[in-house]
Amino acid sequence: MKKILLLLIALGLAACSTTREDKENMKELEEDIPLQEAFNVTYLYSDSAVIQARLEASHVIEKKIDEELVSFFDEGLTLYFYNPTGQIESQLTAYEGTMDMKSGVASARGDVVITNYENERLTSEELFWDKERDMIWTHEFVTIRTKEQIIYGDSLEANADFSEYRIFSIRGIVNLNTDE
């Protein structure tokens, strides 16, 4: 009788053990479960008590991915960039985006548009913003429309307020000045 009881206990313990595959599956499930969900959210990003940017989103889900907290903006976002005096310098809109809280890097995807105070307009399908370096970039096709030109290129780096930018692999320039 003792042998049967010991055998049943051993089988019970073996059935309760967790395999490596089970642990990996649990990790995948945990990554799919949001830590938080919120609607009509506003984030303020500042440095030394000076607001650098304000992000507004209709819906945000926060998840932990590889031990890092990431916010997902799946119903559109608007990101305003401020100058040191508190004036809005530029505005970014996109269909969706993410924000990695540890690295401070945000991504925007889907009909990304930035307009600056000079009414210059950048469009692309994807754009990144580095909060620490206060810069934006993309490796996707870009179009920039100024008062005088439309410029097409394959990638871009710019300061966050989009007052200074560098376009790489320019594909074409269309002059809009018809007075000449």
Give the residue carrying structure tokens 């925007």: 108
Q: Would you state the structure tokens that stand for residue 25, as one six-digit string?
A: 């599956």
Q: What is the dihedral of CA 163, 109, 88, 48, to 10 degrees?
A: -90
Could you tell me if 129 and 103 are in contact, meaning their C-beta atoms sit under 8 angstroms apart? no
Instruction: Return the amino acid letter for 16.
Output: C
Q: Name the least confident of 24-28, 124-128, 165-169.
A: 24-28
* pTM, two decimal places: 0.76
Helix (H, G, I), strand (E, B) or coil at 85: coil
Closest alpha carbon to 58 in 44, 35, 78: 78
Beta bridge partners of 170: 153
What CA–CA distance (Å, rounded) separates 84 from 95? 28
Instruction: Return the amino acid letter for 120.
Output: E
Average pLDDT, the chain: 84
Q: Could you report the per-residue pLDDT of 63-110, keeping only the tens digit for each?
A: 888 778 889 999 999 999 898 888 999 999 999 999 988 888 999 999
Q: Would you state the structure tokens that stand for residue 143, as one six-digit string?
A: 């179009």
The domain over range 35-175 is classified in CATH as 2.60.40.3880? no
What CA–CA distance (Å, rounded) separates 176 from 29? 54
Q: Could you report the per-residue pLDDT of 44-59, keeping only the tens digit for each?
A: 988 888 888 899 999 9
Closest alpha carbon to 123 in 104, 105, 101, 138: 138
> DSSP character for 148?
S
What CA–CA distance (Å, rounded) separates 71 from 131? 15
Q: Would you state the structure tokens that stand for residue 78, as one six-digit string?
A: 């608007």
**Taking the domains of the chain in order of start, what are their residue ranges?**
35-175
